[in-house]
Structure 1
Amino acid sequence: MNIAAVRRLGYRRRMADGFDIHLNEDQARRLKAAAEAAGVEPTAYALQVLEGVIGDISIAGVSEYPAAWVAEDAERWAEYERTRETIPLEDALAAFDAALDEKLRAKAR
């Protein structure tokens, strides 16, 4: 995967094993800053982020759940199996609502 700064977001041509992603100057700058903060190269950082978001692709081409979600589910299930403690629905929804509100506030900035 080649990542290059260009004026618009798009792709060049499809290849047998993937395609190129092009970033505008601002996107490239932000990717580089995030990668430097994580201590990795921008291409490696972009691939890690993409893997976390898109997860595995099935044979039919349908995106499965992102790997991070599956890992979190496994951790939560193991904790439940160990303790048999559950979270009341009201508490879970309150945490969900708070996280959603924060994301919406951040997006509005």
Structure 2
Amino acid sequence: MGAMPRVAQPNGSEEAQEPVALLGNLIRTSVLRFLRANPDATSASISEALGVRSTTIHAYLSDLERAGLVIADPPNMGERRGIWVKYRANDEAITDLYLRLGLAIGEF
């Protein structure tokens, strides 16, 4: 008998894979919601507002920044020790991802 796949992926679900991976997490969606309401927030203010440890927030911000859903100032060009980074939501990219998810589930 063959090995079972780690994650089941139904036929035709390819279009939903990225939107679900990026938005299908409560912390990520909470960070995006917070940044849409509070542009130019620091990771500390996000951590405090959401009641989530700063190390966790940093990890999710990095993921969201790599995905283009969050814009950092200054951008991540390596080490940022001692620099206050401000984050804001990339509304255009978030809307695009939302629409792609809607298309994938047959909403649009």
When the two structures are superposed, what TM-score results if normalisation uses the length of structure 2?
Answer: 0.29
| Higher helix residue share | 1
Q: Which structure is larger by alpha-carbon Rg, 1 or 2?
A: 1
The structure showing larger relative contact order (alpha-carbon pairs under 8 Å, at least 6 residues apart) is: 2
